[in-house]
Amino acid sequence: MRGPGAALHVRLLGLRADEPSRVDRVLSRTLFAEGATTAKCTVRTQPPGERPYFPLHEAGLSAADVLEFWRRRDFDLNVPPGAGNCVFCFMKGTVTLVDLATRRDVRRRGGTPTDIGWWSDFERRHLRTAPRRDGEGESRFGFFGVNSATFADLADGQVEANGRYANGTPACDCTD
């Protein structure tokens, strides 16, 4: 339910104490969803009624604490350093994605988003073209903008070091 009668609910997020800017961003979105209108409250995607809670942040736990937790277990999630939960998410930026695509410690599971080939296939299926404004050929619209690198390019190690999305895309609302 949306609006002032939205059902109140708690959302547990695994943001750590060493990620205060991410926690602040979620809290700012919550303020906006509840009707705040300050300059910091501009992202309109937070569900009304949501009450985010950050147990790791509240407990003062950092990335090192999380790694230590997993070292004491008899199994590991095998998330490579710097890869995060969504290994090849386009929000990471093209330079990081090329690095991840070439790293041997990044486990790839074909046919899933943990494989850059999955992203390449997905982008290829949804890539759009349109006539160029100057009438000379077509423009290609992919994850990284008009006529920019594609996931297939990144999988081949091709990246513009100073491209528009070299260091990440505009702030997203994901909290993984």
Q: Where are the domains of the chain?
A: 1-76, 77-169
Residue 3: pLDDT band (50, 70, 90) is low
pLDDT at 70: 87
What does the pLDDT read at residue 38?
53
Strands 138-142 and 145-146: antiparallel
Kindly state the tokens that stand for 77.
Answer: 């999630």
Task: State yes or no: pLDDT of 47 exceeds 80.
Answer: no
pLDDT at position 57: 96
For the full predicted model, state whether its pTM sits above 0.75. Answer: no
**What is the predicted pLDDT for the residue at 51?**
83
Summarised one tens digit per residue, pLDDT across range 78-111 is 677 777 777 888 888 888 899 888 887 777 777 7
- Determine the pLDDT at residue 161: 75
Mean residue pLDDT of the chain comes to 80
More confident site: 66 or 80: 66
CA distances (Å), origin 142, targets 28, 64, 84: 30, 36, 23
Strand 50-53 relative to strand 9-12, pairing: parallel
Q: What is the distance between the alpha carbons of residues 167 and 96, in angstroms, rounded to a whole number?
A: 7
Residue 115 pLDDT class (50, 70, 90 cuts): confident
User: CB burial class (10 A; 0-12, 13-18, 19+) of residue 46?
Assistant: buried
Pair of tokens at residue 93: 């930026």
How would you class 43 by CB atoms within 10 Å of its CB: exposed for 0-12, middle for 13-18, buried for 19 or more?
middle
The pLDDT of residue 6 is above 80: no
Type and span of the H or E element at 52: strand 50-53
Burial 128-139, CB ≥16 within 10 A → b, else e:
eeeeeeeeeeee
Determine the average pLDDT of the residues in 149-156.
90
